Structure 1
Amino acid sequence: MLTTPLLLILIVLIVFLAASLKVLREYERAVVFQLGRFWRVKGPGLIILIPIVQQMVRVDLRTIVLDVPTQDVISRDNVSVKVNAVVYFRVVDPQKAVIQVENVMAATNQFAQTTLRSVLGKHELDEMLAERDKLNKDIQDILDAQTDAWGIKVSNVEIKHVDIPDTMIRAIARQAEAERERRAKVIHAEGELQASQTLVNAAKTLEEAPMAIQLRYLQTLTEIAAEKNSTTIFPFPIELIKPFMDLGKRTGER
């Protein structure tokens, strides 16, 4: 049977081992401090610490999804909108994440809010709606450059919603309708231009081949006869009166 001193020693050893042995998961690292000074980063798996002399801070290396709260942004064309975003980041340097910044999550959140307002405020509303991928990349680059000193890697930024005032929604709808009407008029004008060019080319072809107009006359008569009309129109060849027209022009010039 164990005596009281031996029992106390055994209890102390058990407590010592419990305080010394730590198990870290695959996605965790331990930033170990020895007498207050940084010693090393350890893990994953089983690690041994010297109680009182050494302390550790657990750091999660998994990707963190940060929901940036809705921000009031005034665009470059003076439109007030509400914008929120999502930031994906992870710790790549546990030592910096513990030593260089007090709270990684809070610091990244605050900097993401200010960056979102700063970047979007330099662009017009149309750019916010049409060039979202470019804006996401600009925000990501700024965040990644700043948080690199904290041991953070920003992998992606996504703008979730751009809430527009009702008055602006109606204005955008009117603008879209006017744009559609403009395109319809342009397409109609281009069609008229192509048709006129085709007619000009056809007239030049008929002028170069006088017999072609006669064939066209015959085709027209065939089409009229096929419809069983009571009236038949015979086109008068312009070649028969062209000499008289030329004579009239010469007489007028005199």
Structure 2
Amino acid sequence: MEALVTLAGGMMSFIIGLIVVLLIIFLATGSIYVVKQQTNYIIERFGKFHKVALPGLRIKIPIVDRIAKKVPLRIMQLDSVVETKTKDNVFVTIPVSVQYQVQSVADSYYRLANPERQIQSYVYDRVRTSLAKLDLDDAFSSKDQIAQDVETTLSAAMNAYGFAIINTLVTDINPDPTVRASMNSINAAQREREAAISLAEAEKIKIVKQAEADAEYKRLQGEGIAAQRKAIVDGLVEQYESLRDAGIGAEAQEMLLLTQYFDTLQEVAKASNTQTLMLPSNPGGVNDAMTELRNSLFTAVKAGEQRPAPAPEPRATRPQQ
């Protein structure tokens, strides 16, 4: 009985020792490993794909199994700079950012040796094809369309290799510095031209309105002067007729003319721009001036006399009884 107990104790010790040794071997050879979150491990057995190890504590057989690839499942970004030529023969550089993610772990590892270079190749081909159909001005306004074309092409191509294209961004279009300076000059010239046209239109409107105002002012001023002259002539004619009806002779007429003559001289002297006034110095010259004024007045009076007399008002007749 004691022999059996001794044998059992020996077996137990052997088993514990074996477990300890195996544990040490597993730890020493990395057979026990931990897969992190958002990561998958590709495990090969004797060089052949065996399984995909998910996140957590995992065990592999030493020498038999090995970790072939640690595949990240997070969204990754690949930045590329494409140099190409537009339809109007302008060389530009276009930064393109592609965001992608692994969908099939095994396909992404075994079907493509270098997925980043493969993605870049598709980006270069698609961007150059799209830009060859666009002028430089159209390219600036079609960045979103270019990005959409690249994304559509990449999605169709990379899906077969276990990759999903999340988003594609064309962040900028950079022409040569000399071309950019020329474009800025053209834009500045166009804005200056539009500003000049607007200023010219405003000046034209201002001039037209000022001319209209001046014409209206002169029209009203002419009407006022004409009315003033007519009132003066009517007043002179009325005074002359009153004197004639009163039986006053030519002396009164000459006095009236002389008064008007001196009033006219006084008004001329008041004018601010009058520098010199030429007057006759001998009595004969004064008589000539008086004769001219008298003739003018007589002409006005005669014109007034030639006016048709107003029609007499009809008298009221009494009805016969």
Fold match by TM threshold 0.5: yes
Structure 2-normalised TM-score?
Answer: 0.51
**Given the superposition, is the C-alpha separation of residues 19 and 173 from structure 1 closer, same or farther in structure 2, using an over 3 Å criterion?**
closer
**Given the superposition, is the C-alpha separation of residues 87 and 36 from structure 1 closer, same or farther in structure 2, using an over 3 Å criterion?**
same
Name the aligned partner's letter for residue 90 of structure 2: V
Which residue of the other structure, out of 21, 46, 49, is the alignment partner of 1:35?
Answer: 46
The answer as to whether partners of 2:82 and 2:96 remain within 8 angstroms in 1 is: no
What does 1:153-164 correspond to in 2, within 5 Å? 153-164=164-175
The answer as to whether partners of 2:126 and 2:149 remain within 8 angstroms in 1 is: no
Residues 70-119 of structure 1: CA distance to partner in whole angstroms, max 9, x if unpaired? 33211112111122222211111111111111122333234333433333
Residues 14-38 of structure 1: CA distance to partner in whole angstroms, max 9, x if unpaired? 1225522221111101222233332
Q: Aligned residue for 1:62?
A: 74
- Give structure 2 stretches of 5+ with no counterpart: 1-12, 206-216, 225-321
Q: Aligned residue for 2:155?
A: 144
Which residue of the other structure, out of 160, 178, 187, is the alignment partner of 1:176?
Answer: 187
**Given the superposition, is the C-alpha separation of residues 233 and 41 from structure 1 closer, same or farther in structure 2, using an over 3 Å criterion?**
farther
* SS of equivalent to 1:72: strand
Which residue of the other structure, out of 110, 119, 144, is the alignment partner of 1:99?
Answer: 110
**Given the superposition, is the C-alpha separation of residues 49 and 147 from structure 1 closer, same or farther in structure 2, using an over 3 Å criterion?**
same
Which residue of the other structure, out of 20, 34, 47, is the alignment partner of 2:58?
Answer: 47
Q: Which has the larger radius of gyration?
A: 2
Name the aligned partner's letter for residue 164 of structure 2: K
- Give structure 1 stretches of 5+ with no counterpart: 196-223, 236-254
Which residue of the other structure, out of 91, 97, 101, is the alignment partner of 1:80?
Answer: 91
**Given the superposition, is the C-alpha separation of residues 72 and 58 from structure 1 closer, same or farther in structure 2, using an over 3 Å criterion?**
same
Name the aligned partner's letter for residue 75 of structure 2: T
How many equivalent residue pairs?
198
The answer as to whether partners of 1:100 and 1:149 remain within 8 angstroms in 2 is: no
**Given the superposition, is the C-alpha separation of residues 109 and 8 from structure 1 closer, same or farther in structure 2, using an over 3 Å criterion?**
farther
